[in-house]
Every structure is written in structure tokens, then in C-alpha cells.
Amino acid sequence: MLDAAARATSSQTTGGRPGPPDAFYPRPIDLSGLRPGAVNVRDLGEGVQVIVVPGGEQLHVFREICPHMGGPLGEATVCKDATLECPWHGYRFSLETGRLVDNPNARIMAELRRRAPDCFKPDKAPGYALTPMTYQVVGDRAYVRRRRSDA
Amino acid sequence: MKHRFTVEYEIDCPVAIAVAVYLDAEHYVFLHKKYSDTYEVLSYEPETCKIFIRESWELFGLRIGQTCMTEYVPPAEFLNYDIEPYPRWLPSVHHVMKTRTRVVYTEIPERNSTWSRLEIDLDMPFWLWPLRRWIERAITRLKVEKDEQDIDMIRRRAALFGRENNSIYLADHQFILHKDHYLKHFGANSKPLTQPA
């Protein structure tokens, strides 16, 4: 069973593949093969890869690409504070919302950033966020819904 | 006694990308965390593009590492020197051997690619001389391994965003070292590194 939070982005049914067929990526996620609390990379077909982080009884499903520089989130680290750390630059994203919650370099590079010339304007930073993917569970499989922008 | 050697190969990306990756200090302790997980700025001279840094890592509960002067010589040259162990009492080859490195990226115009040349100058006492090849191999292996990690990043970004796309490094909100110089040489209004014949 999925908990209430999971039901916010998914629904659980029994039977075969959910419809309409073109609303979902062709390859479902096999729930029994997921490592809990870890990053699982899954290929949905059509060149789309996602990461799946089972948390409690819900799944956090995001595109495998870091919104900052395109880093491989399949190699990301799940941190104790329910964030995901990108392996390239250490940016941390909330597993719950997908939003950037910390750029540790702001502290590591504080002295350099403070004395940077006019060409560095941190206040103009975009609101980086992981791309969330919604899904529908059928039996022991999760079917990931296509995003409108991917159609 | 002085031992000099070079490590050279092509990096399949434009010089603007290779330089940006070098100056993108935000990835140092994350992508390369296997080698050092802490980067600290001890002093900074923007006028001369010199940054005195400490890189360290934990070994058996003790934080050890090295301090080093880094210098950027625009558009595509990078120097490291004055390398000292940290903490100072740490037994280290750097107490007796002076190391100076110079990385130069040169454009390969016909392929819009980069020739990377690392020059290493080691000044060592006579009793270390028999070990010079071993030291050379260790330094070379470290350089190649770290570059391979960078090249993986470059390849992935090229596949996602385009081979020549350095827009993220130029963005106002993105911090890279010596960005004012980078913008001058590789920004929107920069001139080609290699002038047509």
C-alpha cells in the first residue's frame, strides 16, 4: 500500500497496464527490485532515464539529470536529511519537493564569492529544482506518466 | 637535482569548455572528492589571479593535506607552486622536494578541440633521485584520473547541451574562479583564440 503522500502523485490499481497507453512511458518500474533509501536508476524507454528513491512507502521519481549542470543523478547520494546530493557540484535537492535546498559552495567559496567582481550575481540564481515524474502503480509495477513537455 | 616531465593529450572539447571546467572550483571537492574533500581559500589576490589554497582529506581520523599557491594566467594557463604539507609537521616529500606545475591548454583549430600539456618540475635531493620515475608515474596517474572524471563531465554536458555550450559558466549567477578574465576571453564578445590564416 502507498501512504497518503504517495497518493498525492500516484494512484494504485490492479490489473494490466494503465491507459491510455501513450500517457505512460513504455517500460514500467519493477517495485520489487528497488533498493530502499537508495538511488535506483531506471530506463523508461525512448531515451528517458529516471531515478527512483523509495522513501517509506512512497516513491520519489525524478529525471536523472541535475537541473544545475546536467550531472548524473544516478550517482547522487541520498543524505540523512532527505536530500539528494549531486555528485558533480554537491548541490542538494529536497526529495520531497525536488527544490534546491543548499549549495554548499556558497560556504566553501565564501571568501572568493564575496570578492568576485560584478560578473557574479548570486541573487540572479534560478530556482533550481529536480524534474518530478508522476506514476501509477499497478500490481508490483509503477508506470511513469509522460510529462507534457516530453510528448 | 631537477627532474622535468610532461603529460600531454587531447581533450575532446573546445578550449573555452576546458578552461571553464578548470575554473569551475565548485566541482573540486565533489566530483574529485576521492582525492580531497575539503578546499579552503587561505588568501586571494584578484589583481594577480593568485589564490593560496589548502586541500585536505581525512586519514585515520586526522585531517591532512597540502597548501598550494594557484595562479591563473589568462586565457588558458594554470600554475601551481609553493606546495607544503598540512599540517606542517606532517612527514611529506614536500619538505624536501619542490614541485611546480604548469598546465597549458592550446586550441586544435581543425577539430575545435584542446591539447592539454602538463609540465612538472621537481627539484629533489640526490637521495630521492632514484625514485624520480616512481614519483613521475604517481603524478601522471593522478593527473589522468582526475582529467578522466572531468572528461566524463564534459562528454555528458556536450550530449545534453551541445559541444560548445558554455552558457552556464557565463551566467550571472554561476561562480567560477577569475570569471572576469574568463568572460573577456571566452564570453559572448570574445575574439577567437586562433586567428584565421
In a domain, B98, yes or no: yes
Query: Which of A49, A89, A111 best probes binding to B when mutated, by most B CB atoms within 10 angstroms?
Result: A89
Q: How many domains does the structure of chain B reveal?
A: 1
ipTM for the predicted complex comes to 0.92
In a domain, B146, yes or no: yes
Question: CB-hemisphere CA count at 13 Å for B157?
Answer: 26
In a domain, B28, yes or no: yes
At residue B170 the predicted structure's pLDDT band, cuts being 50, 70 and 90, is: very high
- The continuous run of DSSP H or E covering B4 comes out as strand B2-11
Query: Which of B17, B21, B24, B26 best probes binding to A when mutated, by most A CB atoms within 10 angstroms?
Result: B26
**Domain range enclosing A31:** 4-144
Q: What is the 3-state secondary structure (H, E, C) of chain A?
A: CCCHHHHCCEEEECCCCCCCHHHECCCCEEHHHCCCCCCEEEEEECCEEEEEEEECCEEEEEECECCCCCCEHHHCEECCCCEEECCCCCCEEECCCCEEEECCHHHHCHHHHHCCCCCCCHHHCCCCECCECCEEEECCEEEEECCHHHC
pLDDT digits (tens, 9 = 90+) for B131-156: 999 999 999 999 999 999 999 999 99
In B, which residues are within 8 Å of A89 by CB distance? 26-27, 30-31
In B, which residues are within 8 Å of A108 by CB distance? 26, 29, 39-40
**Domain range enclosing B151:** 2-186
In a domain, A128, yes or no: yes
* A88 in reach of chain B (CB within 8 A): yes
In a domain, A46, yes or no: yes
CATH classification of the domain holding A48: 2.102.10.10
CATH classification of the domain holding B7: 3.30.530.20
Task: With beta carbons less than 8 A apart as the criterion, state whether A24 and A147 touch.
Answer: no
Task: Measure CB to CB from residue B180 to each of A70, A111, A119 and give the nearest one.
Answer: A119
In a domain, B181, yes or no: yes
Q: Which residues of chain A have pLDDT under 70?
A: 1-15, 149-151
A13 to chain B, closest Cα gap in Å: 36
Buried b / exposed e across B156-171, counting CB within 10 Å, b at 16+? bbbeeeeeeebebbbb
CA A10 – CA A58 distance, rounded (Å): 9
> How high is the pLDDT of residue A7?
38
> How high is the pLDDT of residue A2?
41
> How high is the pLDDT of residue A35?
94
At residue B53 the predicted structure's pLDDT band, cuts being 50, 70 and 90, is: very high
> How high is the pLDDT of residue B189?
72
> How high is the pLDDT of residue B124?
96
In a domain, A149, yes or no: no
pLDDT digits (tens, 9 = 90+) for B102-131: 999 999 999 999 999 999 999 999 999 999
- Beta-carbon separation of A108 and B177 below 8 A: no
> Which cell numbers hold the place of B138?
604517481
In a domain, B169, yes or no: yes
B193 pLDDT exceeds 80?
no
In a domain, B87, yes or no: yes
Task: Measure CB to CB from residue A116 to each of B156, B171, B179 and give the nearest one.
Answer: B179
In a domain, B191, yes or no: no
At residue B64 the predicted structure's pLDDT band, cuts being 50, 70 and 90, is: very high
Task: Measure CB to CB from residue A109 to each of B25, B173, B183 and give the nearest one.
Answer: B25
Q: How many domains does the structure of chain A reveal?
A: 1
Task: Measure CB to CB from residue B39 to each of A65, A87, A108 and give the nearest one.
Answer: A108
Buried b / exposed e across A15-47, counting CB within 10 Å, b at 16+? eeebeeeeebbeebbeeeebeeeebbebebeee
Q: What is the mean pLDDT of chain B?
A: 94
> How high is the pLDDT of residue B192?
74
